[in-house]
C-alpha cells in the first residue's frame, strides 16, 4: 500500500505511491537530445568568452578543468540591509563561480575517469577553502544542474558554486534537527542514519570510507545520498582516502544512471557545515524524472512513484 514517510531531518513528508509505482525501465530517457548552442563559451579556444580565469588544472600543457566567475552572477560582492514594515531586503552579497569539468563538450561527468572526478573534487575543495576566507560569507553551496529540465542553461558539463551571507533555511533546519538528536542521544543523527541504512533494503553501496543509499523519504525516483562514514563536517576535512572513495562512489552511481536510464537529467548538491556548526557532510543526487503538480506545490508534499527500496535494488543489481 501507499505510505506517507517523513524525512529524517526535515518536517517534510513524501507519499511513496507504490500503487502508482513505476518500474526502473519506465524512466528510461528515449533520447539524449542535444540543444544547438552555436559557439560554446566553455569549450577550448573560447576562453576569451568567459570572465578572467580563477584557477585551472592542466595535463600536457592543456587545461582539463577551469574555474572562473559566472558571467551572469546571482550574487556579487556588494552589501546592504534594509527593513521597512513587513519587507526585508539586503544586497545579494556573495560569490558565484563556474567549474568547467572537462574540455570535451559532449562528455558528461559520469563519462570521466575516477581520477578526473577526483581532480574535480579537489577543485571544489580548493575553491571552498579560498571562498571561506571572506568572513561575510556564511554558507557555500556547491551544486550541479545536468540537463535543461534540471536547470542547466549550458549543456557543457559544469558545476556551480554560490556563496551567500546567510545560512539557508533548509540547512538551518537540518542543523537544528542534528542538535536536538545530539542533546537526546549524544550522537550524530546522520552517523546513525548511514549505519541503519547499510543494514536496510535501501542500501546501494559501501566501502571502508563511504556509504551510499536511497533515502527513506526520497522525493525523486532513484534519489541517492552519499556520505563519509566518519563524522566529517565539510569537504575540506576529508582525508585523501575518503576523497578517493567519494569520487569512486559518485562515478559508480552515475555509471548506473547513465547506462540504465540513458543519461537522465539530474541535480546534485552538497550539504556542508557552516563555520562553528556541526553538519555531517553529504551529497544528495536527484534525477529529474517526474513532474510536480498542484498537490506538490500547494502542500509541499511530494508524490514519488518509485519506492527507495526498489530504486536501491536496481542500483545494487547494476553495480
Q: Please pick, among 96, 158, 280, 314, the residue that the annotation labels catalytic.
A: 158
The answer to whether 158 is a known catalytic residue is yes
Query: Which candidate, 99, 82, 114, places its Cα nearest to that of 270?
Result: 99
Query: Which candidate, 318, 311, 269, 309, places its Cα nearest to that of 289?
Result: 311
- Which residues lie closer than 8 Å to 243 by C-beta, 6 or more apart? 118, 121, 122, 125
- Which residues lie closer than 8 Å to 65 by C-beta, 6 or more apart? 56, 57, 99, 100, 101, 102, 119, 120, 123
Query: Which candidate, 159, 152, 145, places its Cα nearest to that of 102?
Result: 159
Contact of 292 with 3, CB cutoff 8 Å: no
Strands of 109-195, DSSP E: 139-146, 158-164
* Active site (catalytic) residues: 158
Amino acid at each position: 500500500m501507499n505510505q506517507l514517510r517523513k524525512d529524517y531531518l526535515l518536517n517534510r513528508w513524501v507519499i511513496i505511491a507504490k500503487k502508482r509505482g513505476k518500474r526502473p525501465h519506465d524512466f528510461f530517457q528515449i533520447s539524449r537530445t542535444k540543444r544547438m548552442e552555436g559557439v560554446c563559451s566553455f569549450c577550448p579556444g573560447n576562453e576569451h568568452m568567459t570572465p578572467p580565469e580563477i584557477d585551472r588544472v592542466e595535463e600536457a600543457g592543456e587545461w582539463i578543468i577551469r574555474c572562473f566567475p559566472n558571467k551572469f552572477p546571482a550574487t556579487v560582492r556588494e552589501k546592504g540591509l534594509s527593513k521597512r514594515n513587513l519587507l526585508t531586503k539586503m544586497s545579494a552579497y556573495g560569490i558565484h563561480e563556474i567549474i568547467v569539468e572537462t574540455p570535451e563538450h559532449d562528455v558528461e561527468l559520469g563519462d570521466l575517469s575516477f581520477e578526473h572526478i577526483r581532480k574535480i573534487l579537489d577543485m571544489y575543495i580548493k575553491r571552498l577553502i579560498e571562498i571561506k576566507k571572506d568572513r561575510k560569507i556564511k554558507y557555500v553551496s556547491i551544486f550541479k544542474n545536468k540537463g535543461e529540465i534540471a536547470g542547466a542553461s549550458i549543456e557543457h558539463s559544469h558545476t556551480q558554486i554560490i556563496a551567500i551571507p546567510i545560512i539557508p533555511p533548509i540547512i538551518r533546519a537540518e542543523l537544528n534537527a542534528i542538535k536536538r538528536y545530539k542533546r537526546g542521544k549524544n550522537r550524530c543523527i546522520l552517523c546513525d542514519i548511514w549505519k541503519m541504512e547499510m543494514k536496510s533494503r535501501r542500501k546501494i553501496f559501501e566501502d571502508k570510507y563511504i556509504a551510499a543509499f536511497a533515502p527513506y523519504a526520497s522525493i525523486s525516483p532513484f534519489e541517492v545520498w552519499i556520505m563519509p562514514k566518519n563524522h566529517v563536517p565539510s569537504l575540506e576535512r576529508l582525508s585523501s582516502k575518503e576523497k578517493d572513495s567519494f569520487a569512486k562512489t559518485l562515478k559508480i552511481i552515475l555509471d548506473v544512471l547513465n547506462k540504465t536510464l540513458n543519461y537522465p537529467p539530474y541535480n546534485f548538491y552538497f550539504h556542508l557545515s557552516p563555520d562553528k556548526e556541526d553538519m555531517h557532510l553529504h551529497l544528495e543526487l536527484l534525477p529529474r524524472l517526474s513532474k510536480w503538480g498542484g498537490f506538490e506545490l500547494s502542500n509541499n508534499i511530494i508524490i514519488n512513484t518509485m519506492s527507495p527500496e526498489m530504486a536501491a535494488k536496481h542500483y545494487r543489481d547494476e553495480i
